[in-house]
Amino acid sequence: MIHNDGFKARHRRKATDFTRARSLVFPLIVMLALRKGVKSMQMTLNEWFDGMGLPGVTASAYSQARHRLKHTAFIELNQEAVVKVCYQDGGHRLFRGFRVLGVDGSKIRLPETADITADFGQIRYGSQNPEVDGAHTWALASVLYDVLNHAALDASLGKAKAYEVGLAVAHLAHTRPGDLLLTDRNYPSYHWLASAAHAGRDFVSRCSAKSFATARAMLRGEGSDSQTATIKPDPGRRRELAALGLPATLTVRFVRVTLATGEFEGLVTSLLDETLYPTAMFLELYGLRGGVEGFYGRLKTRLGLGTSPGGPPSRCARISTRPSTWPGWRRC
């Protein structure tokens, strides 16, 4: 793909970029951008060009050439060389006929430059550590990840104060019938559940203690382990959600599962049939969501991303506090 003239034309900033015969040609820039190691950029360039028997280039020259490459190249590469290949032979793994997709977000600390800050914005923290105290530049990453086949179907980088649900709704364009979406307790708002249902997608979302009334009662140990209920949006958001074409009410099922620790967890799902989808199944099913946490752990480790001391806890820090309560839960 990277040697294709059409691919190059779609993903260079100007028509005149990468037209002259130089050392830093388009395919090489793509391959170098995909390569991530612990060595300095200059050392990586030296090793690469020495191995090809070519005169070396400076890190500054590489940075200028890389600036001519649009980020859209990597989106197309992922769709064509990863996602399409993953599913083209029909041999991918399913859970009871579903392709299981985890949706999750994570805050990422960005370099403190004027242009990046202007694009993404800042979040302010109070800390006695002078390196942490004050406003810093952050982004909110969001990913749609096939937890059984280990493929990222879509990813986005939103502003520091972006709404996780808004980014998640945008991922729906990359789903298809037969997909089951798993989300953590930050997501089960009426907006998210109704958006998934409106798109014809099934979902299982973990509920917080401040969630829907039925879920709150379940977390207190009240009522049965499986209950069907009709939910509505908050009055203040009804007009806004109606303008998006979302239904005024939604019938869902609330499920309570008991963890190995004896704790209760409440889930809300579109899987209403208790015969096809018994309550006991959900302990295993929701545990698969740990795959997206593992993906963030690998991504942050390989790219050197993370949070500074005193900043918001990373997803890896959050899940490591309960590594064994869900089957298949992965530590980062």
pLDDT in tens, 172-197: 999 999 999 999 988 989 999 999 99
Angle of helix 41-52 relative to helix 26-34, nearest 10 degrees, comes to 130
* pLDDT value of residue 140: 93
Largest pairwise CA distance in the chain: 73
Choose among 173, 194, 192: nearest CA to 247.
194
d(CA 89, CA 100): 18
Q: Give yes or no for residue 302 having a pLDDT over 80.
A: no
Burial of 2 (0-12, 13-18, 19+ CB in 10 A): middle
- Where does the pLDDT of residue 306 fall: very low under 50, low under 70, confident under 90, or very high at 90 and above? low
- Angle formed at CA 69 by CA 68 and CA 74, multiple of 5 degrees: 170
Mean pLDDT, range 204-233, rounded to an integer: 93
Torsion of CA 296, 37, 81, 106, to 10 degrees: 20
Other residues' Cβ atoms within 10 Å of the Cβ of residue 231? 18
Q: Give yes or no for residue 8 having a pLDDT over 70.
A: yes
Mapped to the 3 state alphabet, what secondary structure does 3-38 carry? Answer: CCHHHHHHCECCCCCCCCCCCCCHHHHHHHHHCCCC
The pair of three-digit structure tokens given for residue 51, joined into one six-digit string:
């191995």
User: Lowest-pLDDT range, 133-142, 203-212, 296-305, 308-317?
Assistant: 308-317
* pLDDT value of residue 315: 36
If one compares 210 and 37, the residue with the highest pLDDT of the two is 210
Mean pLDDT, range 207-211, rounded to an integer: 89
- Angle formed at CA 39 by CA 34 and CA 42, multiple of 5 degrees: 85
Task: Could you list the beta-strand ranges (E) of the chain.
Answer: 99-109, 122-125, 134-146, 151-158, 179-183, 202-207, 226-231, 250-258, 264-269
Choose among 268, 276, 270: nearest CA to 216.
268
Task: Could you list the beta-strand ranges (E) of 1-126.
Answer: 99-109, 122-125
Those residues whose C-beta lies under 8 Å from the C-beta of residue 231, and which sit 6 or more positions away, are: 190, 193, 212, 249, 250, 251, 252
- Give me the residue label for tokens 């060009």: 49
What backbone phi and psi angles, to 5 degrees, belong to 232?
Answer: -135, 160
Percentage above 70 pLDDT, the chain: 91
Those residues whose C-beta lies under 8 Å from the C-beta of residue 128, and which sit 6 or more positions away, are: none
Contact 146, 287 (CB under 8 A): no
Percentage above 90 pLDDT, the chain: 62
The pair of three-digit structure tokens given for residue 50, joined into one six-digit string:
């020495």
Mean pLDDT, range 251-257, rounded to an integer: 96
Mean pLDDT, range 136-146, rounded to an integer: 93
